[in-house]
Structure 1
Amino acid sequence: MKTTRYSSSRQKACQPCSNAKAKCDRKTEICSRCATRGLSCVYPSSTPVVAQNTTNTGGKPEINVQPQPSISKNISIDTILPDLSSTASVCSLPQDANVANPGNSPLDFSNLELVCPINADDINMRWMRSYIPLPEQIPKAYSTATVTFIRRVLKSYSAVAVRSRGIPPFIHPLQMTVKSASPLATCLSLVRICDNLLPGSDEAVAGVLMREMQYLYMQRTTYDDMTLLSAFQAYLIYSMVLFFQLGRVTDSFLRQAVIALQELACSSSRQGLLCVAEQLPTRPKWEAWIVTEAKRRSLYTMYLFDSVLSAQDGLPVYLGTELRGLFAPGSKTLWHAQSRQDWETVYNRHLVDWAGKGFQIDELWPITAALDDAEVVQRRTRMDRWLENLDEFGVMIYAVTSSTHGD
């Protein structure tokens, strides 16, 4: 007899429905409530699967997590995390995370034809520029209000994950439909232990997250492009949860983790940040656009988080000029398209509206003296068109750049 997905648990509802005390119809793959909300439909496992430890073959600094001696002897990790192992990675937990994809042909994330139009190595070295700046670097003068705004927005992204209220807006829901999303699905399940922590358990919980981060970093050379993107996004979420939810504001591990995070971002970016079709310009595959848009949004989120950490440490913050030429966050209708046909229709209109040249992130940066009056007017007209159809992520990016650089 075939084993069902519910055989390992006596719970009659998935975790999100159980937390919300809502009725769960327990449909195959994903229940209706989780499908409509884009939630990770996860059922607890009674027999956790433990992944084997691996060795670090990369040449970068290894992230070492030492035992936490300050953990209370009266608190066990089983009390905090009853269904997951505390001694190794939990990446091999069963993957039930999915979203509804009604009326669509199967998603195919192979042969995406992507290109990286920037020098990705500059992303990897960004952490160093705060200590050894280059002459061509442009400082950003964030006001206290702007830094506070960024902190609160990023904190809300980590809270969304911790409280299982959906996914942060730099993750596309359809990423969760493929097996390569395993690191991300595990992350969205694991960080829920940070909600309603038991008194004195924060050190133990932080240790669990840090060990998972170390595992992701050690495995980085084994990932394909989609899994690498998932690992990068998961590492970013873990880092923000440590900082915003667990209060690891001055933790040396987090500063070391930023180096690893930027290396993951660099490796993912090398695999492509732009669809080849977008350079022609023609309409790319839906899957290709999903991947590149998610990568760019994740990059922008990481850069903002890096700015928060630099401001926290009293270090200068510099404009991410290495990202020049990348597209700004895409439109709300493209990002939230529910079917391939809907997305293709919207993208065809997008090609007409932008006459083959999409709005780029550097068009939100300071206006230089090299632009004449006509070019300034054209730039502001393009910005107005871009603002017409933004989701909350795009609005946040505009708010930060506008308050920092002006119009």
Structure 2
Amino acid sequence: MKEIASLNKTVSATFSKILIDANPAQRTLKSAGDLLASAQAFVIYAILCLFPDEDSVRSELSEEQLILGISEFSLQLASSGLALHEETTDGQIPQWHDWAIMSAKRRTILTIYMLTWAWSVLRNYPSFYCHELQFMFAPSPKALWQAQTEAEWLSLYRKWFQRWKGDGYRIGELLTIPPKQIDRRTEDWLEEVDEFGMLLMLQVNAI
């Protein structure tokens, strides 16, 4: 048990440093990719700490610190851009790598919101909403997200682009679905989306 406690202390110290790095006034992260990787690692750590099992060793960071920490990451990720230039320009197709990074960033931000929402419900705190992200694209189609090669992705993206005419489904549309009524764009999005998107849909229905 001493070894586990020592390891937990080391891990807590590491993630405390990551929080400092993410602070705008003291950030030492060198690129958007570094920020995304650190945010994803911290989200995993926060999930383990905020929703532990009986045998878990408690984090040295308080729950409030964890929530503030992942919220800071969300702000930093959002401030670095939520869409590629090509995604907002008629007839433009982005590079696969750039699209994958941007899609991962958007999914990470949404994961943070889902995590903070679940925590707020568990603790009977006011719920966290993501209305400020209403213009952000919703999670991409499962086939695009899971494409294994650039050629496969490009072929799928062109078909998706033609179907949607370059105007992808957005979070704001998901948040404003009328009760007991789903519009055509939402139906089209649900037909394509993966399990992550369905989880987001379930949360929106629960709000």
TM-score (norm 2): 0.86
Task: Confirm whether residue 259 of structure 1 aligns to residue 68 of structure 2.
Answer: yes
In the alignment, structure 2 segments of 5+ residues that lack a partner are: none
Task: Confirm whether residue 360 of structure 1 aligns to residue 162 of structure 2.
Answer: no
1:174-253 matched pairs, under 5 angstroms: 201=4, 203-220=5-22, 221-223=27-29, 224-245=31-52, 246=56, 248=58, 253=62
> Would the aligned equivalents of 2:134 and 2:173 in 1 still touch at CA under 8 Å?
no
Q: Equivalent residue for 1:273?
A: 82
Q: Equivalent residue for 1:50?
A: none
Q: Equivalent residue for 1:317?
A: 127
Higher helix share: 2
Distance in 1, matches of 2:86 and 2:75, equals 22
Distance in 2, matches of 1:356 and 1:266, equals 26
> Would the aligned equivalents of 1:359 and 1:386 in 2 still touch at CA under 8 Å?
yes
Distance in 1, matches of 2:82 and 2:160, equals 19
Structure with more contact order per residue of length (Cα contacts < 8 Å, sep ≥ 6): 1
Deviation, 1:252, is: 6.2
Q: Equivalent residue for 2:183?
A: 380
Q: Equivalent residue for 2:156?
A: 346
User: Structure 1 vs Structure 2: percent identity of aligned residues?
Assistant: 26
In the alignment, structure 1 segments of 5+ residues that lack a partner are: 1-74, 78-200, 370-375
Distance in 1, matches of 2:32 and 2:155, equals 27
Any idea what SS the aligned residue of 1:348 has? Answer: helix
Distance in 2, matches of 1:328 and 1:208, equals 36
Hey, which bits of structure 1, 4+ residues long, moved more than 6 A?
none
Q: Equivalent residue for 2:201?
A: 398
Deviation, 1:368, is: 6.5
Any idea what SS the aligned residue of 1:207 has? Answer: helix
Distance in 2, matches of 1:311 and 1:204, equals 31
> Would the aligned equivalents of 2:137 and 2:170 in 1 still touch at CA under 8 Å?
yes
> Would the aligned equivalents of 2:114 and 2:203 in 1 still touch at CA under 8 Å?
no
Distance in 1, matches of 2:124 and 2:173, equals 28
One-letter code aligned to 1:394: G
> Would the aligned equivalents of 2:35 and 2:77 in 1 still touch at CA under 8 Å?
yes
Distance in 1, matches of 2:61 and 2:28, equals 27
Distance in 2, matches of 1:320 and 1:327, equals 12
Deviations 1:160-193 (Å, cap 9, x if unpaired)?
xxxxxxxxxxxxxxxxxxxxxxxxxxxxxxxxxx
Q: Equivalent residue for 1:389?
A: 192
Any idea what SS the aligned residue of 1:400 has? Answer: helix
Deviations 1:26-58 (Å, cap 9, x if unpaired)?
xxxxxxxxxxxxxxxxxxxxxxxxxxxxxxxxx
